Structure 1
Amino acid sequence: MKLAAIHNAQKTTSIDDRIMPLINIVFLLLIFFLVAGVIKDVEPVDVDPPASVAEAESDEADLTIFIAQNGQLALGNQLLDEDDFTAQLNAAISAQPDQSVRIVADKEIDSTKVIEVLETLRTAGSSRVKLTTRIQEAP
């Protein structure tokens, strides 16, 4: 009886010993893909920027403004109405006047809306503004 119990314990241990390297490899792969993967913020509104043939890469901006096709405004990841947008933009610019602002506007939006946002930025005291476009694919 005792011999059978000892034999079963040794058998279980040997199965665990064979699976342990597989578990280690799976965890190493998991850690690799977590570190190597790209983590991207979700945009608060659906925006399709206009295409451009310029291939200049832009560095990240401190503050991002999204203008959707229907005119919705978002500051960072927060959807705002016009009054809240202006108030929060003024507060953000007055806190850091030298920060860069990136505008991501939909290609179908009326240009007067973009000009209104630019005027709001100028009034708030921002001087570093970047307009975002997507690279046009070759035909």
Structure 2
Amino acid sequence: MRIIRPKPDRELVNLTPLIDIVFNLLIFFMLTGSITAAEALSIDPASSTSRMRGNVEETVVLVDAEGRIALGERIVSRKELPGIIRETLTADPGALIQLKPDGEADAAQVIDIMEGIREGGAEYIVLLTMQRSARAVS
């Protein structure tokens, strides 16, 4: 007489280690990833040898290589710029206006935009650039 052994049920796979690894990867990428505010224009800022003075979160005017202007997440025209700056300064008289031009932007366009900001009533304009390394300067 032959004994027939019953086939064992399929073993269940333990998913706990896999879930642990997935959560560890999720936490790792959340901590190491950079979180930045969305900007209406993608620009590559000009470089400078001076250091950054501080981390001031104020009104930022972006200028791309084609001369398009963005304020916050909104693209504006050169004609609209003084009025928007005036509204900003009316709401907050001590507001600091920051200009962040693309490194490839035409200097004449950047100067024209600075004049538009001045027409809006801004006394001071901060020109935002990326700090150039010491090697690149020499």
> 2 CA distance for matches of 1:31 and 1:106?
34
Aligned to 1:74, which of 70, 73, 78? 70
Give structure 1 stretches of 5+ with no counterpart: none
- The reply on whether 1:89 has 2:90 as its aligned counterpart is no
Residue 126 of structure 2 corresponds to residue 130 of structure 1: yes
> Which one has the bigger helix percentage?
1
Deviations 1:61-111 (A, max 9, x none): 311101223221111122112233333222222212222221011344444
**Which residue does 1:39 correspond to in 2?**
35
- 1:60 maps to 2:56: yes
Code of the aligned partner of 1:55 = R
Q: Retained in 1: the 8 A contact 2:41–2:70?
A: yes
When the two structures are superposed, what TM-score results if normalisation uses the length of structure 1? 0.71
Mean Cα deviation higher: 75-84 or 85-94:
85-94
C-alpha root-mean-square deviation of aligned residues, in Å? Answer: 2.9
What is the TM-score when the length of structure 2 is the normalising length?
0.71
Q: Runs of 5+ in structure 2 lacking a partner?
A: 1-5
Identity of aligned residues (%): 26
SS, match of residue 34 in structure 1: helix
Give the equivalent residue in structure 2 for 1:20: 16
Equivalent pairs, count: 131
Alpha-carbon distance in 2 for matches of 1:63, 1:44: 14
